[in-house]
Structure 1
């Protein structure tokens, strides 16, 4: 009961921030939630023992789908654009997953990276369609058919992003605690035993991979709407590597851990880039080393430690 109340209070708090914080902080939080969905997809695969360096594939495919839909089909409704982008991520994951579900460890990681870099090459070279390295502009969306002023649109997009992120996090939580979610964890622990139990490891990995593609696709669509521009860098290996970095930063022990890691990372990056533009990456790397040394399970360790202390106090141990 307590985790549910904490989650509801946290959502209400985050929603309230959309009405009181400056526009630039709201924009930063919107980016953190959008990227957090891709990071959540990385964490989902990590729980199955799979490291993906190609989540930028779905992130970019979704973002460009939104941009193309608005340019070629005059799509303006945000909900429809999000649905198209998420669908693109699922379709791409469904196709590539037919091959990738057969591989594990370094082979899986390198193949995901290869697919992502293939898309990056296409986006850079197909200048007439994608704008090359300059990218594409994303038209201003409408919300429920309404065209909003810039300030109102920013806060509304933030609430929309928060709502989509919360819904995706809930569905991911249900999946993690479903029989299929436990089967995915069993693939990491003992794949042979899972086969002896009569479960297909290929199907388990495939469905998990498709779900991860959908999460990353949703994040890409939300990112495109919030930023208003897409470019090939979204599919580059550094973007996918960043997702893995933040997944380890936040931890994979809970569905909210990647989102918390994304918020911390975006805030740290914004201030590090502002005050130390030439060494901000070194600062982030140093922070990662400290977390690995003192919090091997990520920043989520802080929450679990606090909750453990509270339970001990209630039990009269302390």
Structure 2
């Protein structure tokens, strides 16, 4: 198993890119490191959407699991006093997996726009509950204290940044191994012809259910990392429909070509939004939206299709 992981060219490329990012973070200003942490967190959620997209499904409501992961971190601290990084990530993923498993029984029966809009409806139900419930922070949400590592509370965010990179690398490797497995290879088969998959003896509904739970777990971990990086959770920044929209935006912008693409796309999105707001604070959405239109028109395979033309990346993936 270890040999298969180390011999996978996509895994090696992803590890190389994320390790280079960790090294760069030691020399970059704090605001750049913050943006990269936000991008990596969103990238983990987009990685979950990539699993669904390859199956021919798109969720417009993954802010549900992103928010559940974020609130799991905040509430576990508020109620249980948890501040350890590993425990927070586990709590975020566990809550998201339980919710994804339960809702998966409903969503696995739907396809196309019905799947997308039903997932959005569930996310807005959570948003309404959070906004109206004072015990859950209402519109103000909760602040999140400094994350600790086995009782150690490091100064600055470099250690947290490195830990987030390590989690993202682990998630990318696990997803790559899953996509190479028999069940993972069913993604494109289900997208192309569900009836033939059923004739082969596989349950399409069960396969989609598993993929949905995996996608929810990734989004939950992403929300937990975002909560720790941002230091604050509230319904508008973690659960509202615009959060789900941003994840879909990044998914389309990044492209489905590699497990590394979501992280690259998410980091580019964070800096694009930052500079767009700096240049045109009252029209930054126009710049971001225009960028997406240009990518759809001229790079239908997303940013990754452009990066694949770089000789170094092409050799590393195909040698």
- Relative distance call for 1:7 and 1:76 in structure 2 (3 A) is closer
1:185-204 correspondence to structure 2 within 5 Å: 185-204=188-207
Work out the CA distance in 2 between the residues paired with 1:16 and 1:308. Answer: 20
- Relative distance call for 1:309 and 1:228 in structure 2 (3 A) is closer
* Aligned-residue CA RMSD (Å): 1.8
Tell me if structure 1 keeps the 8 A contact 2:11–2:176. no
Work out the CA distance in 1 between the residues paired with 2:181 and 2:36. Answer: 30
CA drift at 1:308: 9.5
Please name the residue that 1:155 is paired with.
158
CA drift at 1:9: 3.0
Please name the residue that 2:257 is paired with.
253
How far does the alpha carbon of each residue in 1:79-118 deviate from its partner, in whole angstroms, 9 at most, with x for none?
A: 1111101111111101110111111111111110010000
Tell me if structure 1 keeps the 8 A contact 2:15–2:169. no
Tell me if structure 2 keeps the 8 A contact 1:54–1:116. yes
Please name the residue that 1:224 is paired with.
227
Query: Is structure 2 residue 146 aligned with structure 1 residue 143?
Result: no
How far does the alpha carbon of each residue in 1:257-312 deviate from its partner, in whole angstroms, 9 at most, with x for none?
A: 1111101100111111112111110001111111111100100111222249966x
Tell me if structure 1 keeps the 8 A contact 2:11–2:173. no
Please name the residue that 1:69 is paired with.
76
How far does the alpha carbon of each residue in 1:53-100 deviate from its partner, in whole angstroms, 9 at most, with x for none?
A: 111000001111110110111112111111101111111101110111
Query: Is structure 2 residue 294 aligned with structure 1 residue 297?
Result: no
Tell me if structure 2 keeps the 8 A contact 1:40–1:215. yes
1:47-86 correspondence to structure 2 within 5 Å: 47-86=54-93
Please name the residue that 2:4 is paired with.
none
SS of residue in 2 equivalent to 1:305: coil
Query: Is structure 2 residue 97 aligned with structure 1 residue 94?
Result: no
Please name the residue that 1:278 is paired with.
282
State the number of aligned residues: 309
Tell me if structure 1 keeps the 8 A contact 2:175–2:259. yes
SS of residue in 1 equivalent to 2:151: coil
How far does the alpha carbon of each residue in 1:158-178 deviate from its partner, in whole angstroms, 9 at most, with x for none?
A: 001000000000101111111
Tell me if structure 2 keeps the 8 A contact 1:71–1:139. no
Please name the residue that 1:110 is paired with.
117
CA drift at 1:12: 2.6
Structure 1 residue ranges without an equivalent (≥5): none
Tell me if structure 2 keeps the 8 A contact 1:157–1:226. yes
SS of residue in 2 equivalent to 1:52: coil
Structure 2 residue ranges without an equivalent (≥5): 1-6
195-204 or 232-241: bigger deviation? 232-241
Q: 1:131 aligns with which of 113, 130, 137?
A: 137
Work out the CA distance in 2 between the residues paired with 1:122 and 1:191. Answer: 36
Query: TM-score under structure 2 normalisation?
Result: 0.93
